Structure 1
Amino acid sequence: MEEAGRDQDRTVAVAVEDPSSVSTRDPGSVSTKPARRYPLALWVAILGLIMLVGMYIFSLSLRQNGMLFGVMQTNMIEKEREKPCHGPSIPDTEIPYVHYPTPNTYDRKECACNAVRFFAILSMQRSGSGWFETLLNSHENISSNGEIFSVKERRSNVTTITKTLDKLYNLDWYSSAAKNECTAAVGLKWMLNQGLLKNHQEIVEYFNRRGVSVIFLLRRNLLQRYVSILANAHDSAMKQLNGTHKAHVHSRDEADVLAKYKPTIDKKMLISELKRADKLAADGLANFKNTQHIVLYYEDVVKNHTKLMDVLDFLKLPKTNLSSRHVKIHTKRLRDHIENWADVNNTLQGTRYESFLNGRR
């Protein structure tokens, strides 16, 4: 009996042994099921659904951003109107072109709320821009500050260009033309070959962002312009007026002295020179077509001074008589100002520049 009891105890001990030891001893006895796999078509459908939802969310975002931009633009106009200087009579379309600069170098005092418009005269050498600028500066509220970018350092890169423009349009630029406190329009004269076309994308962006109005002043008769360039270059070298060079004169006597020189034009280079000038003007018009601008031609302004009133209308300034002390140098027929007229005449006959031969200075 005692031995039977011991056998029973051993049987019970085996029966209560840890189940983990069983699995350790016999791993083959554990049942495993293969992982469930989804068909490829289902994954494609899920991916397509995700893309559709993404596109829908993106379209909503675009719509909301457009609405947000419109609200921001409206708020900007409203904020501009909230400024003490803005009057309710200014149309919304004009607000970007109306400015109230606060110069660092002086106080505008009682003129602080006089609106100022920004402009730039874009032209080419010997196209009448000097004469035109003096006409504008005869207006008591216009300050056109000359050929600022004739200095190479100021146009060396976009940063120096914008820094110079910022100073000018903040009324901190000092020149003999500056009207300071009560300026109603401030600008400059800028030749197309003075970094203007080279950096035209950045300058167009600046003009549009700052509300700068562009005044193109070009010359139709490029042969007349070329004669003027050669005559001016001659005087620069010879200094015919008492040892000084004058690009513009203020007396008839001085003009007659300079007009005595008649350039001899290289007929082999003439066509290419006219083409180069033609392209320069065309590129200027094309590159700045998306700015607020007006196009004038020297010949039209000379013949019809009402063109000057168009400029005052363009700048939204009161009309007044404009005057200049400049005296025209070449007043005779074009043939009388060219030494080898016969060569020039034969070279241009039958070309698209033939009409220039009939021009009168």
Structure 2
Amino acid sequence: MTEQILVLTDAEDVTAERVAALLTSRGAEVLLLDPGAVPTGAQVEMTAAGTGRVRRWLRLGGRDVDLDGLTCVWHRRPTAPVPPHTVDDPDVRAHLSGEVKTYLDGVWRALACRQVPATRDVIDRADRKSYHLPAAVELGFAVPPTLITSDADRLLDFYDEHDGKIITKPLHRSPRGTAEAPMGRYTEPVSTRDLGYLAALRLAPMIVQAYVPKDVELRVTVVGAVVFAVEIHSQATRHTRYDWRRYDHQNTPLQVHALPDDVAERCRTLVDRLGLSYGAIDLILTPEGQYVFLEINPNGQYDWLELATGLPITAAVADLLLTGSVEVPS
């Protein structure tokens, strides 16, 4: 039987295209769908009858695809549904986008096929720092002293406890702004100037952590049972000192890192405990040699690491999509 794999991602995801090409070369049928194009550029339909028969299909590019015949769905980097520009009322646009997303989430969740890295609800849960940070602590990871609060006085106490050496970062990875004009935020140190705006903290909780000195940062990509670790020499340039996602490629070397066996096993266990088959974990290796957990992204990017180091992550992802497992190299 031909493997049929649906990849839910944005229309310009070159990483997904690279995986799709490899899967196709292995005989699989791969469909790439940008959920943001539903229902104007693609349609997902469902019928249910009293006889107990339910059918779901995707109409894309002039063809009908039986969704119940899929062997795998890869929740790669799906975008939120975007209403047509002819609808200009913001409240109506928000309503339409929510309706489509709710419908699609239900369709994907009900499919009986393999879902990578997990179903959408499991992915969303695992992505929350307030959920995965306690799991990391329970597994024995060292973590930075952390406070999540909406109390300005408590944050000031935390600031004093750590001699002002603290950082803030987004509580959740979802960008600010809109689907059409997203905005992101990096990890930032807290300055004395920032303290003058703490009154706004009462509007929403913020995550703050003690600053952890870095020798290097690590992006650990777990695919099935295989762990790929890459050193990010973020301290080589001031642009990436606090957050390597500011990207200074010419001045930020990337190298394969040999994780200690116990740390690698802890990474595998965390991904499994969160109900995932894939996860991108950010660690700090301190000058004293301690591995410190920062966060996990259930769908973190890896392509740039593979291009820089030659690690076979794409092949491992293809194996995971085809068979549901990836064997540890002997």
TM-score (norm 1): 0.19
Whose radius of gyration is greater, 1 or 2?
1
Q: Larger % of strand: which?
A: 2
Q: Larger % of helix: which?
A: 1
